[in-house]
Amino acid sequence: MKHKTLNERIVSDPAVLLGKHVIRGTHVPVYLIAGFVEADRTPEKIVDDYPDLTVEDVQAAVSYAADEAERTEARTLFPPNDSSDQPATGSLL
């Protein structure tokens, strides 16, 4: 299966980290970068530690992670109306 481009910098490829979202051309996952930023590591320090990345990659990862968090929250608050989620009714006997 081919990789899925999520934006110009973020991709998902089943052959790379089991399809986790990564920075294009690397094996650096978005969740790792977002965690570093959440732990107050600066984009410049992340780039120093991961020279294949740019500050723009870090910014894209943080932006993507924030957008994904908002989508996840929205799905939790407003789940899709899926009939398969409804309890079964009637008797099986």
Does residue 82 form part of some domain? no
Which residues make beta-bridge pairs with 21? 12
Give the number of residues written for the chain. 93
**What residues make up the domain containing 50?**
4-75
CB 53 within 8 A of CB 45: no
DSSP string computed for 36-81: HHHTT--HHHHHHH-TT--HHHHHHHHHHHHHHHHHHHHHHHS---
Does residue 65 form part of some domain? yes
Does residue 90 form part of some domain? no
Does residue 87 form part of some domain? no
0.75 cut: is pTM over it? Answer: no
What's the total number of domains in the chain? Answer: 1
Per-residue pLDDT of the chain (93 residues; tens, 9 = 90+): 455 666 789 999 999 999 999 999 999 999 999 999 999 999 999 999 999 999 999 999 999 998 888 777 666 777 777 555 555 555 544
Does residue 61 form part of some domain? yes
Does residue 33 form part of some domain? yes
CATH number of the domain residue 43 falls in? 1.10.10.10
Does residue 85 form part of some domain? no
**Left, alpha or beta for 90 (phi > 0: left; psi -120 to 50: alpha)?**
left
